[in-house]
């Protein structure tokens, strides 16, 4: 089980793998032999070699004799299948690149899904394990906040405990769909998913839970039920209150860039992810410039809107 508090002890180091895997589709992976010898004597070099495709459901390896060359076919296939089993069990990258199962009612499972996906995206982008301490830092900070338990709104979409977490994961899943289209095919998948996972960090500390009375339509009696409302900023530490007062997209950008390296494209997408809904007239030209010139801006806006529809 992935443990955000001690990633180093819950995953197998990349250096322990003879073969590495890159997602090719929802159920298949490209098999890469790491640092294999090419050539002989003084001209020998060590290069990565693509061996074929492995199916994550059947664990069947598909390759050709030309690719395998002089290698012992049975031995190499056994090694690939063994490394892939270890990869699927002990590396969060296994969960990156395809829809991740989520349920609105299962907050615990969604927390695990989020942490695995975040770690997987960061590790895929880095291409090495040197970012593990940074991943631990980000996740420990998130777990020290109300990020995982607060709603995404008070009365509109996903207005239930854990609703913001569910919404963020829904946006990531919608992004995978949109990335298959021609318009967004050039967007880097790692950058897009990290953007999805951080775009609503502005909602950390935004809401508070309280109880309100609602009349039961069956019993006709008033009952106390949990509800959420916007938190009074004056009750927060000044630095947090001022940060939230930057505005929806700008606050998320500032929070995210404190913990994650963001490209200008990611910052623009997060800043303008509300589109025209949260843009004053004097800012419209800036929004339009970003939408016209950077596909990740519309990608996040579209995924954000698709994540709250009933189809």
Structural domain boundaries of the chain? 4-90, 98-306
Residue 274 phi/psi, 5° resolution?
A: -80, -10
Tell me what pLDDT residue 282 has: 83
Give the containing element (helix H, strand E) for 21: strand 19-23
Q: What is the pTM of this model?
A: 0.89
Instruction: Report the share of the chain in percent with pLDDT over 70.
Output: 92
Tell me what pLDDT residue 69 has: 60
Tell me what pLDDT residue 42 has: 47
Tell me what pLDDT residue 252 has: 96
Tell me what pLDDT residue 45 has: 45
Q: How would you class 271 by CB atoms within 10 Å of its CB: exposed for 0-12, middle for 13-18, buried for 19 or more?
A: buried
Tell me what pLDDT residue 43 has: 43
CA–CA dist 104, 238 (Å, integer)? 33
Tell me what pLDDT residue 178 has: 97
3-state SS, residue 127: coil
Which residue ranges in the chain fall short of pLDDT 50? Answer: 37-46
Burial 65-104 (b: 16+ CB within 10 A, else e): eeebeebeeeebbebbbebbeebeeebbbbbbbeebebee
Tell me what pLDDT residue 157 has: 87
């Amino acid at each position: 089980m992935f443990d955000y508090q001690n990633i180093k002890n819950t995953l197998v180091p990349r250096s322990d793998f003879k073969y590495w895997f890159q997602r090719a589709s929802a159920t298949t992976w490209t098999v890469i032999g790491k640092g294999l010898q090419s050539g002989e004597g003084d001209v020998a070099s060590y290069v990565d070699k693509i061996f074929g495709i492995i199916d994550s459901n059947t664990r069947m390896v598909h390759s050709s004799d030309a690719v395998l060359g002089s290698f012992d076919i049975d031995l190499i296939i056994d090694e690939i299948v063994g490394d892939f089993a270890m990869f699927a069990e002990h590396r969060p990258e296994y969960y990156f690149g395809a829809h991740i199962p989520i349920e609105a009612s299962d907050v615990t499972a969604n927390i695990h899904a989020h942490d695995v996906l975040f770690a997987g995206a960061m590790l895929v982008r880095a291409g090495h394990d040197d970012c593990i301490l940074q991943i631990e830092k980000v996740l420990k900070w998130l777990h020290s906040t109300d990020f995982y338990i607060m709603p995404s709104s008070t009365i509109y979409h996903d207005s239930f405990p854990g609703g913001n977490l569910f919404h963020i994961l829904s946006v990531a899943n919608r992004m995978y769909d949109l990335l298959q289209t021609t318009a967004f095919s050039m967007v880097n998948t790692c950058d897009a998913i990290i953007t999805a996972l951080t775009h609503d960090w502005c909602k950390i500390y935004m809401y508070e839970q309280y109880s309100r009375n609602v009349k039961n339509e069956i019993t006709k009696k008033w009952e106390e039920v949990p509800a959420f409302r916007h938190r009074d900023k004056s009750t927060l530490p000044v630095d947090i209150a001022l940060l939230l007062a930057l505005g929806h997209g700008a606050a998320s950008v500032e929070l995210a860039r404190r913990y994650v390296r963001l490209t200008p494209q990611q910052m623009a997408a997060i800043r303008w992810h509300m589109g025209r809904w949260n843009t004053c007239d004097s800012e419209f030209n800036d929004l339009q410039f970003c939408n016209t010139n950077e596909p990740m801006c519309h990608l996040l806006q579209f995924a954000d809107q698709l994540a709250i529809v009933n189809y």
